[in-house]
Amino acid sequence: MFSTGFFSTHLKVLLNIVIFCCFCNWARAITLQSDVQALIELKNAVEADSIGQTTCLGSWNFSVDPCDSRSTNQFVCGIRCDVKTGGKSRVTSFALDGVGYRGYLSPYIGNLTELTELVLAGNGFHGSIPQSITGLARLYRLDLSGNMFSGPLPDSLGRLVNLQILSLGRNRFSGPVPGSLNNLKTLQRLDLSYNALSGTIPPLGGLGQLYNLDLSYNGFVGVIPSQLPVSLSQMTLRSNFLTGTLPASLSGLRGLGVLDLSGNRLSGSIDGLLFSHPELQQLNLSNNSFTAISVPNMSGVESLLVAVDIGFNRISGLLPSNFSTLQSLSALSLRYNGFQGPIPAEYAVKAADGVKPLVRLFLDGNYLNGGVPAQFLKIPAEKISGSFADNCLRSCPSSVILCQGSQKPATVCRRAYRRRAQVP
């Protein structure tokens, strides 16, 4: 039999072991002091009246250790910690909630040298990107989108060679895109949209893993680069001032699924190779100055194209009937061009009887004449949307959803046909 004293002694030993283990765990959780100082300065750079009590920054209380996992009421969000250096915890993620914080990004961000993720999206930060950010060699995600950052993009961004996501959209950055971004060999997403960037788009062929490129709503000029990452699956360059023709290299982007070049000043012919692209699903070339189009017959060939928008260009001639051979096509816009002649009966067949029918068809704003194919008159209004208005069609009853809206005056139509008849 064991005595009561034996159990008491061993219980004390056990309790001491537990306390010692807890103390060791607490000691290991102590944040490196330079990281704590950086967090203090980062919070101090945010205007106090923009920090709500229920926000991430509102929960930060530096009377406790930021990386102490025992704290349940302070540092509830905004940072992630890992044990990194000499048993000390390091901040590895700084990701704030998008609640409208105002302020600037403190240069002390460079002290968080173990940071892999920096996210400030959806706030009101202003000023420039501090140069110290380029010391964050482990950073794989940098998201400053939806703020008011301004100034040029620093050339030193090209030193963040581990970046996979660079999202700087919806800010006020200006000036050219630094060519050093071509050094980011692991970059997968690049979003610089909705800024005031200018100059030409630099060659980006060195970004061998880039699959999403968004440079829309800026002030880029010049031609579309012929050197583009072959890995691209989505490219959006809409609403810039790009000129020239479509580069032949587009057909070489074999994984491209979405291409949006709308709202530029592109011209020339739209090559039929785009419509036979093996992966392309969405194509938007609207609001440019294209003057010709070639669509191959895709009967018997698998096509993934679902939506095509070539509206608001300067294309004339007959409507390409081969659009009806694109098996997956469900949305087509050829509005506000200079097309003449009849509406192809093939369009009506695809809209009425196709396995994957046309459900959106916009042909308004052209000079189409003749009657409306009978199949269109039988399609229920809930099965199709679009418009045949502002053409030169006869007998397009307003009871048909596609015919709602007036046609051009006969004098305008006659003048347009005479003018085109005089063109050799």
46 vs 101, 136, 407, CA distance in Å?
7, 21, 58
Separation CA 52–CA 203 (nearest Å): 44
Single-letter amino acid code for the residue at 50? S
Single-letter amino acid code for the residue at 276? S
- 22 — pLDDT class (breaks 50, 70, 90): very low
Structure tokens at 73: 């009421």
**CATH superfamily of domain region 149-242:** Ribonuclease Inhibitor (3.80.10.10)
Assess contact for 129 and 109: CB atoms under 8 A: no
Assess contact for 334 and 319: CB atoms under 8 A: yes
| Per-chain mean pLDDT for the chain | 90
Assess contact for 150 and 170: CB atoms under 8 A: no
The confidence score (pLDDT) of residue 420 equals: 67
Q: Do 23-139 and 267-424 agree at the fold level? A: yes
The pLDDT tens digits of the residues spanning 391-411 come to 999 888 888 899 999 999 999
pLDDT higher than 60, residue 16: no
Assess contact for 250 and 256: CB atoms under 8 A: yes
The pLDDT tens digits of the residues spanning 110-124 come to 999 999 999 999 999
The confidence score (pLDDT) of residue 399 equals: 83
Structure tokens at 160: 């963040």
Mean pLDDT of 277-300: 95
The confidence score (pLDDT) of residue 394 equals: 87
* Bridge partners of residue 151, in order along the sequence: 173
Separation CA 39–CA 51 (nearest Å): 15
Separation CA 366–CA 373 (nearest Å): 17
Assess contact for 367 and 338: CB atoms under 8 A: yes
Calculate what percentage of the chain has a pLDDT beyond 90: 77
The confidence score (pLDDT) of residue 6 equals: 41
Structure tokens at 157: 């961004």
**CATH superfamily of domain region 23-139:** Ribonuclease Inhibitor (3.80.10.10)
Burial 79-107 (b: 16+ CB within 10 A, else e): bebeeeeeebbbbbbbbbbebebbbbbbe
pLDDT higher than 90, residue 176: yes
**CATH superfamily of domain region 267-424:** Ribonuclease Inhibitor (3.80.10.10)
* Count of C-beta atoms within a 10 Å radius of residue 180: 16
Phi-psi region of 156 (alpha: psi -120 to 50; beta: other; left: phi over 0): alpha
Report domain extents, the chain: 23-139, 149-242, 267-424
pLDDT higher than 70, residue 71: no
Mean pLDDT of 201-210: 93
Q: Which residues contact 143 (CB under 8 A, 6 or more apart)?
A: 118, 119, 120, 121, 165, 167
Mean pLDDT of 130-147: 96
pLDDT higher than 90, residue 131: yes
The pLDDT tens digits of the residues spanning 349-384 come to 999 886 789 999 999 999 999 999 989 988 998 999
Higher-confidence residue of 24 and 143: namely: 143
Assess contact for 292 and 270: CB atoms under 8 A: yes
* Count of C-beta atoms within a 10 Å radius of residue 360: 16
